[in-house]
Amino acid sequence: MKIKDSIKKGLGFGLTSGIITTLGLIIGLSAGTHSKIAVIGGILTIAFADALSDSLGIHISEESTKKNSTYKKGKKEIWESTLSTLFSKIFFALTFLIPVLFLQLSLAVIISIIWGLTLITFFSYFIAKFNKTRPSSVIIEHVVITIIVVILSKILGNLIAKYIA
């Protein structure tokens, strides 16, 4: 089954943004507040408000490059990118609710990190295979970036808890 480029673009962006943004939020809010309800509220906000924002961003970006691109993007392709971004971001962000709802927050954070890194690893593998490149280098690059986001979110959450809360 061949997936259209416009849909792949939206899925890739939505999946990656949904995972990394939600992971950063979970870790930062957890470290800063230690509040399960704050983390749940944050995930729901990311899943919907940020998904709408990102999909509008993709939509406007696609429209702004329409005349300059090497292939003529029609309205249909622009809307395919927009909607695939929206739905993939909502879906992947909401998957992080499961451990937070059913586990103690500290364990839910660990499970969320494992889940996020697993998704990024699998998606990176498929990107590499599609582009006929070595999976290991693509996976390492994407996992390292995700880990940096996790570490920076933890540091920021700790600083907020220490100096602001």
- Using one digit for the tens of pLDDT, what is the confidence trace for 76-101? 889 999 999 999 999 999 999 999 99
Tell me: the pLDDT tens digits for 15-37? 999 999 999 999 999 999 999 99
CB contact burial 81-101 (16+ within 10 A = b; e otherwise): bbbbbbebbbebbbbbbebbe
Q: Which domain holds residue 120?
A: 5-163
Domain tally, the chain: 1
Is the Cβ–Cβ distance between 24 and 96 less than 8 Å? no
Direct distance between the N- and C-terminal alpha carbons of the chain, in angstroms, rounded to an integer: 51
